[in-house]
Amino acid sequence: MIVMKFGGTSVKDVAAVQRLIGIVRRDPRPRVVVVSALSKVTDALLETGRLAEAGDANGAREAVRALHRRHVDMAALVSQPNRRAELVAATDALFAELDAIVHALAVVEEVTPRSADAIVAFGELASSRIVAAALEDAGIPARFVDARKVLVTDAAHGAAQPDRPATEERTGSLVRPLVDGGVVPVLGGFIGSTAGGLTTTLGRGGSDYSAALFGAALAAEEIQIWTDVDGMLTADPRVVGSPRVVPRLSFDEASELAYFGAKVLHPSTILPAVGLGIPVRILNSHRPEAKGTLITAQADGGVAGPVAIACKRGVTRIDIASSRMLMAYGFLRRVFEVFERFRTPVDVVTTSEVSVSVTIDDRRALDGIVGELRAFADVSCDDGMAIVCAVGERLRGDAQLATRILGALEGLPLAMVSQGGSRTNITVVLPDALVKEAMESLHRRFFETSPDPEAAPRGAAA
């Protein structure tokens, strides 16, 4: 059994859904299909929530009408009249419900994270109904399954965490019997609900995570992430001119890259696959014949050095200095307890005898954090920084690597440099305005001279 997840651009219009049908048809294995909202719909729904919160009832309802029209137009995919009428009626009902919610929220001018989740879930609910009907119409037995009944989460609206055992049980009772009966279940990604039935979402880009959770619950043989690029690329194509495809990655490499900005994969996706050793494949729905990227437990052979570089932009650096840190123990604990109390993850950390520097990308609690740190340290913050990192399982095989990376970044003002004990990445922090320059320079150094003359064979000298 395989799980096939199609992202927003892979369901964005009639032509995209037709490609999806072709891809699902080609694979004879039992399949589960997971889809995102149509491209840009999640953004539009979030904007609708903002309009409602601002009390702009007309603006919010006009936005709902536009989304309704776009989804009804997609029903043209379906040629069988009864099926099309059924799809249009289901879509009308969904958007009538959304309209009522948005109207009510605009009256009270308040959109809580809980109501925002209720609004934003309509994107995946609508797209999954359309794709299920389109597959059926194309002669592939398929059935819409409300993902909120299957994916059980905690109540952290906007970034809910899955309840894996409960989700496994629901997948077993609601999804597996369909697959066993030769039917393709079609579920929306990204959405779930609490045990009490409140709609939740997994955070932006979370459909990948849903696919992996369903894949793990079904012990699938493979999880496929169908998107709009040829796989994991050696760098973000929006930052670097012509990155290459990385054919093979280890779970660790993929999760580091995802965490440090490779948007093609939600950072949590790999997690459910790791325990069960389920391979994850990233594939291009525009070029289904391309090989894509295969992510498995083991790294591939090949060349030492980074497999790819990534960047995370718009992060804040916080410098925390204490003269009392000299020879003091307990200082780091106090510092990190503050971040823990404010539930703010720290990405990069460097320390010296008298100071600690950290980066965060979630600034919501920054004022509170700085206030508490100032009770025992001097603190300064710098917005507008970025993390650039080179990732590779075999970085440790190359004694010259740090020199080569820093050499490629020569002349750029590096605010922090860090290499972890596991050495699957080397990370630098620098002003955001210099990210493009840094990434291009690293990319030229490691991926555009092929083969890299200084690279040792991968696997040599660990």
Q: Which residues would be at the binding site for Mg ion (CB under 5 A)?
A: 7, 205
CB–CB of 282/225 below 8 Å?
A: yes
Beta strand pairing call for 2-6 and 31-35: parallel
Residue 162 interacts with ligand ASP (CB under 6 A): yes or no: no
Q: Shortest approach of Mg ion to residue 352 CB, angstroms?
A: 38
Considering only CA atoms, which of 335, 385, 342 is closest in space to residue 365? 342
CB–CB of 268/293 below 8 Å?
A: no
Kindly report whether the peptide bond that precedes residue 451 is cis, defined as omega within 30 degrees of 0.
Answer: yes
Tokens of 234: 């050696």
Distance CA 34, CA 212 (A): 10
Q: Which stretch binds ligand ADP (CB under 6 A): 125-133, 169-177, 228-236, 446-454?
A: 228-236
Residue 226 interacts with ligand ASP (CB under 6 A): yes or no: no
Residue 263 DSSP symbol: T
Instruction: Please state the three-class secondary structure of 282-300 as a single string.
Output: EEECCCCCCCCEEEECCCC
Q: Which stretch binds ligand ADP (CB under 6 A): 21-29, 226-234, 317-325, 409-417?
A: 226-234
Binding residues for ligand ASP, how many (CB under 6 A)? Answer: 13
Give the residue, chosen from 8, 185, 206, 215, that forms a contact with ligand ADP under the rule CB under 6 A: 8
Residue type, 289: E
- CA 165, chain centre distance (Å): 22
Q: Shortest approach of ligand ADP to residue 5 CB, angstroms?
A: 8
Distance CA 462, CA 31 (A): 40
268/316 with CB nearer ligand ASP:
268
Distance CA 226, CA 223 (A): 10
Lay out the site mask for ligand ADP across 388-417 (x = CB under 6 A, - = otherwise).
Answer: ------------------------------
Taking every pair of C-alpha atoms in the chain, what is the biggest distance, in angstroms? Answer: 78
Q: Shortest approach of Mg ion to residue 65 CB, angstroms?
A: 27
What residues numbered 87-126 form the site for ligand ASP, per CB under 6 A? 123
Residues in the chain: 462
Q: Shortest approach of ligand ADP to residue 157 CB, angstroms?
A: 21
Residue 236 interacts with ligand ADP (CB under 6 A): yes or no: yes
CB–CB of 8/42 below 8 Å?
A: yes
- CA 326, chain centre distance (Å): 40
Strands (E), 14-129: 31-35
Residue 237 interacts with ligand ADP (CB under 6 A): yes or no: yes
Q: Which stretch binds ligand ADP (CB under 6 A): 46-54, 262-270, 335-343, 396-404?
A: 262-270
Lay out the site mask for ligand ASP across 3-32 (x = CB under 6 A, - = otherwise).
Answer: ----xx------------------------
Lay out the site mask for ligand ADP across 292-311 (x = CB under 6 A, - = otherwise).
Answer: ----------------x-x-
* Helix (H/G/I), strand (E/B), else coil: 344: coil
Lay out the site mask for ligand ADP across 18-47 (x = CB under 6 A, - = otherwise).
Answer: ------------------x-----------
Q: Which residues bind ligand ASP (CB under 6 A)?
A: 7-8, 36-37, 42, 123, 189-190, 204-208
Q: Which residues bind ligand ADP (CB under 6 A)?
A: 7-10, 36, 205, 227-229, 232-233, 235-238, 262-264, 308, 310
